[in-house]
Amino acid sequence: MFSAISRVFRTPDLRRKIGFTLAIIAIYRLGAHIPAPFVDFPNVQQCLAESSGAEGLLSLVNLFSGGALLQLSIFALGVMPYITATIIVQLLRVVIPHFESLYKEGQAGQAKLTQYTRYLTIALALLQSTTLVTVARSGQLFGTTGIAECSQLLTNDAWWAQMLMIITMTAGTGLIMWFAELVTERGIGNGMSILIFTSIAAAFPASMWSIWQSRGFELFLLVLVVGIAVMGLVVFVEQSQRRVPVQYAKRMVGRRTYGGTNTYIPIKVNMAGVVPVIFASSLLYIPALIAQFNQPAAGETAAPWVVWISNNLTNGDSPIYMLVYFLLIVGFTYFYVAITFNPVEVADNMKKYGGFIPGIRAGRPTAEYLDYVLTRITLPGSLYLGLIALLPLFALALVGANQNFPFGGASILIIVGVGLETVKQIDAQLQQRHYEGLLR
């Protein structure tokens, strides 16, 4: 293992790529701690130390920004606008035929879709930065903490000062997007995935230290053991796949024979990745947002439906919240898999090139068989996603851990997934140069 790692750094091209990636990561983390203009940094730090942090969708955005959101830094929005824009563009392929045709055009069409994603990212960054500055100005960024400093996070609340903050945060999102593209082009791995991995991994030491300080060494050790077990489970499921065998008939083109090969279609147990968890978290935040805008004035009584939402759809330890969250993840998993994997299209491509599944006729029967396999393999994948996403809520209810419990939810899925893909890329680069990879 150590000899393989030494080969990585002895290879000049690979060493240069890893060094470039690490330099971008260092700049990204530095920007996450530089406050935006007119932010009262001491007050923000005091609120971070004395409050439990953000709730709902804000906690997810804060996780993906590496804690930069609650610090109101220049990189406060992190990669969340780009993630949201990418998901929206993928969904619009089903609704807008032009997007689907661009997707099928190859590299030129993909370049146009990427350009649309960039424009949408900037638009979402403007919207989200405006919302963030408005919430910070109102003193509700950390919720109703009762801390006087949390209601005075800005040193200047004039309109031009707020506009400067919005422009700065939006420009920060554009800079992050550029960093990600540089890493993809000149570094190792997918740039945006690497930055997401960095943001989430940066919060792990603080979360574990907080558990040690507040709950003691015994619980810290228990969480560590459970975390290693969860990581092993995630690696096992993420690598699991159903291989549907495919055979290609021999055909003569001139004097040459083509085809006659055996291959397979890999259908992963978790084809949806972390997207259903993001969908479910975003959708569950909507009732809480509506209830927040319908809070009663001083001396008045809240409406019954507002009280019910506050008790059942905003508290992570509520059984109703857990059940709704779990069912939403299962439903969104089936929805996203149905969008991203089209059995009819796969069957048509196989038929076009003379491929068939042994025992299944080409064409419509093949599409029905693929749909049959996909529907049944998505069930354990959706249940797995739901249980992994509920781990932080169970930890919050059982041991009183912080909501940003490190080993669970979107964080562990992203860290393991990105880590596996990056190691595979390094392994492939080593095999090209030394005929022996990093993995054995």
Q: Which amino acid is at 175?
A: L
Question: Is 97 part of any domain?
Answer: yes
Position 115 in a domain: yes
48 within domain boundaries:
yes
Considering the domain boundaries, does residue 287 fall inside one?
Answer: no
With respect to residue 109, please indicate whether it lies within any of the assigned structural domains: yes
Domain interval for residue 145? 32-187
CA gyration radius, the chain:
24
- Residues 198-216: what's their mean pLDDT? 79
Asked if pLDDT for residue 144 goes beyond 60, the answer is no
Q: Is the pLDDT of residue 123 over 90?
A: yes
The reported pTM is 0.80
CATH code at position 149 = 1.10.3370.10
Average pLDDT over all residues of the chain:
80
Q: How do 256-258 and 262-268 pair as beta strands?
A: unpaired
Least-confidence region, from 259-263, 339-343, 367-371: 259-263
Helix or strand holding residue 258 (H, E): strand 256-258
Q: Is residue 113 in a domain?
A: yes
- The number of beta carbons lying within 10 Å of the beta carbon of residue 26 is 11
Q: Are 210 and 395 in contact (CB under 8 A)?
A: no
357 Cβ contact list (under 8 Å, min separation 6)? 244, 245, 246, 247, 350, 366, 369
Q: Between residues 210 and 145, which one has the greater pLDDT?
A: 210
The number of distinct structural domains making up the chain is 1
Are 72 and 153 in contact, with CB atoms under 8 Å apart?
A: yes
Look at residue 7 and tell me whether its pLDDT is greater than 80: no
Residue 157: per-residue pLDDT:
79
Whether the pLDDT of residue 125 is over 80: the answer is yes
- Whether residue 147 is contained in a domain is answered as yes
Q: Are 178 and 75 in contact (CB under 8 A)?
A: no
Does the pLDDT at position 175 exceed 90? yes
- Residue 274 in any domain: the answer is no
> pLDDT band at 249, cuts 50/70/90?
confident
Query: What are the tens digits of pLDDT across the range 283-302?
Result: 877 777 777 666 666 566 77
pLDDT above 90 coverage of the chain, percent: 15
